[in-house]
Amino acid sequence: MTGTSVVVLGATGFLGRHLCDAFETAGARVTAVSRGLCGGSAPPSAQRREHLDPLREPPDRLTRLLDDVAADTVVNAAGQLWGATPEQQEAANADLVGLLLDAVAAAPRRPRLVQLGTVHEYGPGTDRRPFAEDHPPQPDTTYGRTKLRAARTVLDAVEASGTDGVVLRISNVCGAGAPAGSLLGFLAARLTAHRGRPGPMELDLPPATAWRDFVDARDVADAVVACARAPRARVAGRVVNVGSGRAVLVEDVVNRLVELSGVQVRRTAAAAPVPSAGRGGSANSAAAWQALDVTLAEQLLQWRPRRGLDDSLRSLLAGV
């Protein structure tokens, strides 16, 4: 990808930082875009940084930016979940995509749009088979519904106007920088803060009985880079799953994170709500078991996950 121009929206977020690093490593010219991009919070790998909120600024500003950097690929890693109201999620997850598509359509060289979706667009499922891309979406959370609306907006634009767009549906992401609103990000921060203190750490956390598909953030970034490289005829208008391909019991993941941290923990069951298991998750989701079938990603992108769960958990602890 040497010399390719890539614009990353949501560049200071959890996945956005990993995406900037991966594209920079691949030789791309990276423009990092964020609503609050400033100072030390900016991704260190980005060659250009822009503070831009498409929801609040003139609609042509993003178009002018895409033209100015001669963008070949735009990756939408922006959105809201943690602490956001349903109205905020509608705007940040769905309305934003419509504005982004307008900007892409108006840009002189119409870049590829890679929309990052979520496993929660599929909903809770009905059995213990991984979701394939042809599974009928039935989201049961606001986050899943708003991300599904965004995905359909992209796919409709491909069909109606020939937009070069693709949707990557991503499972629960783990790794350095996981947000504190997620279960693993919350727990890693607590464990790291307790290191060196006397006595065990008190942890009020009920058993996590759900099964989830965890994928390393670096593997997700590799999949996005592969998608940007893929021929248009292969990926335009497609939904492609990105995950580990298997579900693990979240309680086992919690216990393994504690073990890897080296912190002694005294566990008690709490009545308080438990943070989500990962990106795109929701504590209120009815899904007891979720995993993604990633066969299509291997076929279309020549991609498969390379990092194991222990690698992801160690990265998470090291990055807190």
Q: Which residues are catalytic?
A: 143
Letter for the amino acid at 39? Answer: G
Q: Report whether 146 contacts 121 (CB < 8 A).
A: no
3-state secondary structure 83-105: CCCHHHHHHHHHHHHHHHHHHHH
Alpha-carbon gap, residue 21 to 72, rounded angstroms: 17
Name the H helices within the chain: 14-25, 60-68, 86-89, 96-106, 142-161, 183-194, 217-229, 232-235, 250-261, 295-301, 309-318
As given in the structure block, the two tokens for residue 224 are: 């996005």
Residue type, 1: M
Residue with tokens 């020549």: 302
Q: What is the DSSP string of 104-132?
A: HHHSTT--EEEEEEEGGGT-S-SSSSPBP
Given a contact cutoff of 8 angstroms between Cβ atoms, the answer to whether 171 and 214 are in contact is yes
Dmax of the chain from CA atoms? 63
Give the number of other Cβ atoms within 10 Å of residue 47's Cβ. 14
The neighbour count for residue 13, using CB atoms within 10 Å, is 21
